[in-house]
């Protein structure tokens, strides 16, 4: 009977006991940092480095936990069902739960130190996802909505006596069922969406403050004037309250300034040391507020002197740091951990990721639709990594989108900017990511620009675009691309995604998500180096200012990381570092040798039905092939310059070109200049020069085989032959030859590329013609071109850029095109439709 009674008591409301003690669970992968988690000393570091006080009490550790049924639930009596380790989300292995519940309770006891007597006691939460109600000793002290911002409540009046106090937190997290900001979280993880995060996921802590205290500070560096703009904002009665700020360089005091609280003061910073990724110097600052000459509150902080700006350079907008151009190169960072999900197991783990970013040779990181704990930004500030900070998206990649919670989005966007605007590492706010939850774009972008005019504002990484903010940011997979704009900074906010699988380090081997897959380390590294060279070329020749590689680590089944999800390096770091260093600190110049049709039409012979097997050889006769201008493809294909429509599955192309003396050319610098969508093979004089799969979204350089280089004929006729195959989406093909050199430019005419002389037979296409037509050869500038009617009357003289020739003004009928190079005259008949 006693056993039966005890079992009944376990399930009676209000008589529940903590029957399940905390024990770390095992996720599919665990990092080495999980072993360092001490439930008695969880994330013990001070959580708010830019507003630090000496007195505080960490409430991380073991709490009680159980699911709830609604946000209006009454606090259960007695102990809750399980123990959970705070601050790890309940879906995580380290929490000890690994479950999702839309509603849940937390509870624990604490004791206020006697030394805090006479002060106000604040209860701080780093972040709780998503809505929560906080109770002290059963009394509600406040509610909060938002999964990424910190908040606090003054709990002084709810504290009873001097013994144990009880804090309880009721949480509501709808995840997919509401259109709130949630980033990459979902209840149905797969592809590029990951396990949800519910409840307390950042440090919980207590802090004593006087009645009148420092509530927050705002620090804005101005390196042009060598001053720091400081505002000290207070809570409580500020009548007669002043502050004194002491700035230090290490142990040396360099400035002491006094001012009125809640007012802006300029603090001179003599002989300023600038913050940059190569030299992340931070000044310490101590702030005391006084009344009647007595110090009533004091905080410690730090700041960096640095400047971000958009500056026009030769008609192109560039990113400038500290009044100099600096290319931004960094990885996409989702901020997920296999064992802690949103929460790194330890502060050392939090630091580890940023150290790895530096070790790989990056100078920037894009924090992707997640906001981190303040200590993550502290390490970015201290170690020297520029941060592009995304606002977490609503309705991320969902097949069942909910109505956008626009009021919540705007409020949380403001909170993100205000909470983190003192961090020197943050150089850009990204208001939207791709199409996810985009709304009122101009309004919200301008709001952020008004709030923080010292940083760049990215309207939306990956588009769609509203032509606002500082950045035009394209996404391109797998190779990078470069937007075209004269009014905004050109950025490639996502590219790469090279999938390389490391056995024993896969979240779920039965499900793999990758943009492309390589089979070994050498293929992985060479592909990475190729993409970084493309990025360098875009920087040097197209005015690109930034590139973001996807990504720093694998995340669950998305296997595109430089590291595995459990933080193992996949490949030789030294080669990745060297490739990244080339992008940031070097240039690759491109010099056209045999022109493509990107800027001027080049004539090709082509077929769209299978030719003979020797179609690519110099001995093959192509007189029955059609002639038309490149490039070939369909309109709307990214980066394509379509002059002739090709919309079948395959195209075969041949083109002769004349080369002059190559003695001044280093053939190691010879590359194909190509835009292919999709797979293609390129031959030079019948020898395979390159075979590639996939597609590009812009013209890129591609290595030429040594055998094809050896087959080139100097001072003679050569042949380019190309086959391209299309399976899905847009399509395009065009090829030329270029010289590619590191950190130096070839002279204007490195070799004589002979143009086809006018004495050779010319042709026009299309013929009959509509509004425009092309001449089949490049002509010298001295060539005279006229259009005549059938009676020989001259109707129009063409000069300047000859191809294409506009004949839209002509009436239907037969005409002659006369070409005169001073030595020979040709008349070519054409029919105008």
Instruction: Give the integer Cα–Cα distance in Å for 486 and 576.
Output: 32
Q: Which pLDDT tens digit goes with each residue over 489-548?
A: 999 999 999 999 999 999 999 999 999 999 999 999 999 999 999 999 999 999 999 999
* Backbone phi, psi, residue 730, to 5°: -70, 165
- Return the residue matching tokens 């376990």: 10
Instruction: Give the integer Cα–Cα distance in Å for 653 and 683.
Output: 10
Cis peptide before 87 (omega within 30 of 0): yes
Instruction: Give the integer Cα–Cα distance in Å for 437 and 432.
Output: 8
Exposed/middle/buried for 371, CB within 10 Å: 0-12, 13-18, 19+?
Answer: buried
Q: Which pLDDT does position 638 carry in this prediction? A: 86
Q: Which pLDDT does position 1 carry in this prediction? A: 36
Q: Is the pLDDT of residue 69 over 90?
A: yes
In a 13 Å sphere around the CA of 757, the CA atoms on its Cβ side amount to 7
Q: Which pLDDT does position 818 carry in this prediction? A: 80
Please tell me which of 500-509, 789-798, 817-826 the model is most confident about, judged by mean pLDDT: 500-509
In DSSP terms, 676 is beta-bridged to 733
Q: Which pLDDT tens digit goes with each residue over 99-150?
A: 999 999 999 999 999 999 999 999 999 999 999 999 999 999 999 999 999 9
In DSSP terms, 769 is beta-bridged to 832
Cβ atoms of 578 and 532 closer than 8 Å: no
For the chain, the average pLDDT equals 92
Residues 6+ apart with CB under 8 A from 555: 184, 194, 334, 336, 561, 565
Under the banding of pLDDT at 50, 70 and 90, the label for residue 6 is very low
Q: Which pLDDT tens digit goes with each residue over 302-344?
A: 999 999 999 999 999 999 999 999 999 999 999 999 999 999 9
Q: Is the pLDDT of residue 712 over 80?
A: yes
Cβ atoms of 148 and 180 closer than 8 Å: no
- Return the residue matching tokens 């995604």: 497
Q: Which pLDDT does position 419 carry in this prediction? A: 97
Instruction: Give the integer Cα–Cα distance in Å for 196 and 185.
Output: 4
Instruction: Give the integer Cα–Cα distance in Å for 402 and 194.
Output: 18
* DSSP assigned state of 762: P
Q: Is the pLDDT of residue 784 over 90?
A: no
Lowest mean pLDDT among 120-124, 139-143, 596-600, 706-710: 596-600
Q: Which pLDDT tens digit goes with each residue over 622-654?
A: 999 999 999 999 999 988 999 999 999 999 999
Radius of gyration of the chain (CA): 33
Under the banding of pLDDT at 50, 70 and 90, the label for residue 822 is low
Cβ atoms of 106 and 168 closer than 8 Å: yes
Q: Which pLDDT tens digit goes with each residue over 22-53?
A: 999 999 999 999 999 999 999 999 999 999 99
250: left (phi over 0), alpha (psi -120 to 50) or beta: left
Q: Which pLDDT does position 782 carry in this prediction? A: 67
For a pLDDT cut of 70, what percent of the chain falls above it? 94
Of 811 and 113, more confident: 113
* DSSP assigned state of 294: E
Exposed/middle/buried for 627, CB within 10 Å: 0-12, 13-18, 19+?
Answer: middle
Q: What is the rounded average pLDDT of the residues 217-240?
A: 96
Q: Which of 571, 533, 544 is nearest to 702 (CA)?
A: 533
Q: What is the rounded average pLDDT of the residues 578-588?
A: 97
393-398-401-405 Cα dihedral, nearest 10 degrees: -20
Q: Which pLDDT tens digit goes with each residue over 337-392?
A: 999 999 999 999 999 999 999 999 999 999 999 999 999 999 999 999 999 999 99
In DSSP terms, 132 is beta-bridged to 144, 171
Q: Which of 126, 135, 146 is nearest to 105 (CA)?
A: 135
Cβ atoms of 121 and 154 closer than 8 Å: yes
Residues 6+ apart with CB under 8 A from 814: 790, 829, 830, 831, 832
pTM value? 0.85
Tokens of 430: 């990204």
Q: What is the rounded average pLDDT of the residues 207-226?
A: 97
Q: Is the pLDDT of residue 89 over 80?
A: yes
CA triple 371-377-382, angle to 5 deg: 165
The CA-atom distances, in angstroms, between 86 and each of 39, 200, 538, 572, 623 are 9, 7, 46, 37, 77
* Backbone phi, psi, residue 203, to 5°: -55, 140
Q: Which pLDDT does position 761 carry in this prediction? A: 56
Q: Is the pLDDT of residue 422 over 50?
A: yes
Q: What is the rounded average pLDDT of the residues 791-807?
A: 73
């Amino acid at each position: 009977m006693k056993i039966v009674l005890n079992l009944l008591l376990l399930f009676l409301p209000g008589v529940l006991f903590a029957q399940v003690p905390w024990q770390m669970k095992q996720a599919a992968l665990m990092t080495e940092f999980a072993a360092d988690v001490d439930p008695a000393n969880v994330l013990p570091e001070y959580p708010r480095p830019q507003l630090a006080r000496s007195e505080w009490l960490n409430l991380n550790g073991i709490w009680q936990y159980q699911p709830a049924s609604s946000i209006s639930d009454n606090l259960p009596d007695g102990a809750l069902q399980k123990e959970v380790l705070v601050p790890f989300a309940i879906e995580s292995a380290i929490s000890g739960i690994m479950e999702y519940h839309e509603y849940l309770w937390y509870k624990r006891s604490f004791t206020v130190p006697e030394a805090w007597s006479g002060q106000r006691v604040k209860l701080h939460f780093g972040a709780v996802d998503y809505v929560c109600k906080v109770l002290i000793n059963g009394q509600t002290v406040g509610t909060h909505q938002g999964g990424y911002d910190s908040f606090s409540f003054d709990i002084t009046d709810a504290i009873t006596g001097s013994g144990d106090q009880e804090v309880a937190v009721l949480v509501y997290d709808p995840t997919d069922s509401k259109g709130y900001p949630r980033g990459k979280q979902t209840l149905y993880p797969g592809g590029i969406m990951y396990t949800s995060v519910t409840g307390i996921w950042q440090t919980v802590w207590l802090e004593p403050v006087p009645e009148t205290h420092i509530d927050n500070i705002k620090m804005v560096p101005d390196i042009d004037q060598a001053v720091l703009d400081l505002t000290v904002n207070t809570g409580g009665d500020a009548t007669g309250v002043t502050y004194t700020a002491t700035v230090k360089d290490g142990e040396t005091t360099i400035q002491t300034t006094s001012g009125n609280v809640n007012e802006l003061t300029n603090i001179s910073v003599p002989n300023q040391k600038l913050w940059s990724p190569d030299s992340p110097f931070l000044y310490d600052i101590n702030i005391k507020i006084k009344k009647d000459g007595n110090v009533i509150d004091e905080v410690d902080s730090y700041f960096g002197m640095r400047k971000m700006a958009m500056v026009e350079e030769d008609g192109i907008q560039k990113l400038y740091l500290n009044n100099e151009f600096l290319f931004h190169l960094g990885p996409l960072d989702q901020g997920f951990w296999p064992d802690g999900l949103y929460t790194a197991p330890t502060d050392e783990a939090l630091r580890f990721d940023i150290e790895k970013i530096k070790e790989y040779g990056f100078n920037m990181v894009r924090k992707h639709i997640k906001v981190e704990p303040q200590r993550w930004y502290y390490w970015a500030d201290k170690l020297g990594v520029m941060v592009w900070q995304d606002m977490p998206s609503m309705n991320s990649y969902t097949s069942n989108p909910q109505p956008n919670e626009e009021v919540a989005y705007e409020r949380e966007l403001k909170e993100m900017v205000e909470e983190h605007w003192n961090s020197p590492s943050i150089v850009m706010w990204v208001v939207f990511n791709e199409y996810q939850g985009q709304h009122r774009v101009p309004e919200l972008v301008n709001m952020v620009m008004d709030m923080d005019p010292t940083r760049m504002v990215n309207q939306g990484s990956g588009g769609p675009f509203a032509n606002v903010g500082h950045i035009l940011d394209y996404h391109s997979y797998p190779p990078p691309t470069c937007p075209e704009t004269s009014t905004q900074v050109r950025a490639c906010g996502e590219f790469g995604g090279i999938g390389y699988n490391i056995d024993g380090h896969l979240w779920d081997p039965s499900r793999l998500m990758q943009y492309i897959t390589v089979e070994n380390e050498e293929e992985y590294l060479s592909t990475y180096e190729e993409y970084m060279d493309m990025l360098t070329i875009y920087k040097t020749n197209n005015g690109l200012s930034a590139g973001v590689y996807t990504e720093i680590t694998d995340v669950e089944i998305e296997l595109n990381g430089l590291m595995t999800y459990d933080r193992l390096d996949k490949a030789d770091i030294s080669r990745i570092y060297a490739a990244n260093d080339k992008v940031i600190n070097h240039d690759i110049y491109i010099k056209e040798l045999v022109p493509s049709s990107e800027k001027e039409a080049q004539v090709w012979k082509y077929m769209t039905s299978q030719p003979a097997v020797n179609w690519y050889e110099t001995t093959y006769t192509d007189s029955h092939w059609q002639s038309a201008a490149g490039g070939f493809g369909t309109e709307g294909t990214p980066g394509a310059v379509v002059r002739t429509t090709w919309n079948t599955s395959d195209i075969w192309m041949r083109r002769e070109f004349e080369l002059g003396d190559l003695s001044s050319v280093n053939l190691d610098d010879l590359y194909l200049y190509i835009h292919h969508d999709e797979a293609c093979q390129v031959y030079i004089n019948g020898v395979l020069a390159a075979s590639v799969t996939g597609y590009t979204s812009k013209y890129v350089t591609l290595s030429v085989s040594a055998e094809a280089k050896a087959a080139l004929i100097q001072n003679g006729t050569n042949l380019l032959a190309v086959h391209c195959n299309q399976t899905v989406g847009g399509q395009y093909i065009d090829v030329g030859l270029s010289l590619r050199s590191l950190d130096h430019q070839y002279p204007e005419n490195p070799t004589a590329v002979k143009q086809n002389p006018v004495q050779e037979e010319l042709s026009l296409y299309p013929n009959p013609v509509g509004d425009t037509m092309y001449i089949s050869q490049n002509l010298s500038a001295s060539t005279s071109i006229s259009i005549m009617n059938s009676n020989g009357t001259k109707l129009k003289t063409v000069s300047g850029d000859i191809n294409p020739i506009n004949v839209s003004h002509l009436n239907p009928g037969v005409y002659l095109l006369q070409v005169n190079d001073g030595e020979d005259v040709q008349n070519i008949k054409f029919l105008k439709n």
